[in-house]
Amino acid sequence: MTVKLAKRENLYFVLKIVFTVVVLAAAVACFDYFRDSPLTMYTSLSVFIIYAVMIWLFIMFQKIYLVAYMKGNGIAVTERQFPEVYETFRKMGEELGLKKLPRLFVIQQGGALNAFAMRFSGNNYVAIYSDVFELMNSDIDSVKFILGHELGHVARHHMSKRFWTFPSSLIPFLTPAYSRACEYTCDNIGYELAERKSTNGLLVLAAGKGLYRQVNSASFMEDARENRTMAVKFAGLLMSHPYLPRRIANLMRD
């Protein structure tokens, strides 16, 4: 399967690599600058290490908690549990050329509508919230879009790329911009993997599983354009995901 990349994804990733090197080089230069003042140098180094370890522990704790929650409370989708969805998921993974299929879990989140992919200890996981997964009985294509989107993150190694370029997060706006580009790419992947080439998978996130079929997409996007004030535009620069109308417009350009 040919993946249609968001036009700036690779550019932003290259910038993240460049600024990761710059940040690390600046840190080394800073320590070298204070080499004639051992107390200052060791104090700075200690502070740097403490903060780095704290950030690492925080990220690891989040991942451990999520994996434990999925394995402890989630329902694993397998050949025996929701076999039709599992087979669909497996075939999508094959289309994307994945050598190892991520483990798929259904988790109940009190009516929230979402899904996510994550990587921990060398393994990839995909979780889909139960209120989205319920659509498998009435609109399997929307479920395929959402699962395909998450598989896109795995196929593009987005989680690993973000981890190894984490120091570039010090650069304002760069990491959210890269994240938004990744979301566009994964929307393209989910769109191609869904048979009907529908944007319903995104409308579900906008209006909910009970109302999304009644949403007028053209009106939704037109209203969004009218509501793009300076505050809305600025907030969008800080967000990891593009606004839903822009994601829909990205797909409809095809």
Residue 159 included in any domain: yes
Q: What pLDDT score was predicted for residue 157?
A: 97
What DSSP element (H or E) covers 242?
none
Tell which residue, 17, 59, 7, has the closest CA to residue 165.
Answer: 17
176, 239 contact by CB (below 8 A): yes
Instruction: Flag whether 2 is in a domain.
Output: no
The one-character DSSP state at 227 is T
Domain contains 3: no
Walking along the chain (254 residues) 10 residues at a time, the average pLDDT comes out as: 89 98 88 72 77 89 95 96 96 96 96 94 96 94 96 97 94 97 97 89 93 93 92 96 95 79
In a domain, 122, yes or no: yes
Quick check: is 104 in a domain? Answer: yes
The residue range of the domain holding 181 is: 9-252
Please check whether residue 43 lies inside any domain of the structure.
yes
Q: What is the pTM of this model?
A: 0.92
Number of structural domains the chain divides into: 1
List CB contacts of 205: < 8 A, sequence separation 6 or more. Answer: 113, 114, 244
Asked if residue 1 is part of any domain, the answer here is: no
In a domain, 4, yes or no: no
Nearest to 15 by CA among 198, 225, 195, 167: 167
